[in-house]
Amino acid sequence: MKIKLTELTVQTRKDRELVDITSEVERAVAQSVVSAGLVWVMTKHTSSGILVTEGLPCLESDVLDHLGSLAPDFGDYHHNRYLEIDGRVAFNAPAHLKSVLTGYFAYFPVAGARSSRARGSGSTSPSSTARYCAVTPVQVIGE
């Protein structure tokens, strides 16, 4: 059994954005030397998520708009208060809620040293409220 862990750095440029990481995930699979198995992609951040979409700009706009309507940027959130654990006021409750809605991982079978994802789909990592640099682990397991 081979296990290869790669960490991707995903830099967002906007407050609300989907970043296509498909080619980086496929590169990690190719470099893993795993010909049959599983690739698992996750986010370490509780204010981002992993989605699988067709990669169409119109669909991605719909996803961001819908997430925005479910967890608006300005609302009466319990989390947006002074947090003793951080020693500061929290401001990112909507991002946490959007992360819960999108999920934090996706996995795909690996066959023939390639990720066997649905044609036209892509893994994306959305930033929901703030621009930041996210570390996204990609683990490939198999033979």
Q: What is the set of domains in the chain, with CATH numbers? A: 2-142 (2.60.120.460)
Residues 97-134: pLDDT tens digits?
A: 999 999 989 999 998 877 766 444 555 554 444 445 67
Average pLDDT over residues 48-76: 90
pTM of the model: 0.83
5 pLDDT more than 80: yes
What was the pLDDT predicted at 116? 65
* Mean pLDDT of all residues belonging to the chain: 85
Of 92, 142, 93, nearest to 116 by C-alpha is 142
Per the CB < 8 A criterion, the answer to whether 123 and 40 are in contact is: no
Higher-scoring residue by pLDDT: 3, 117: 3
- Please tell me the distance from the alpha carbon of residue 102 to that of residue 105, in angstroms, as a whole number: 9
- Please tell me the distance from the alpha carbon of residue 47 to that of residue 60, in angstroms, as a whole number: 18
β-sheet with 114-115: strand ranges across = 2-11, 133-142, 36-42, 105-111, 114-115
In whole angstroms, how far apart are CA 81 and each of 26, 84, 127, 131?
A: 41, 10, 21, 21
What was the pLDDT predicted at 128? 44
What was the pLDDT predicted at 133? 64
Average pLDDT over residues 29-43: 92
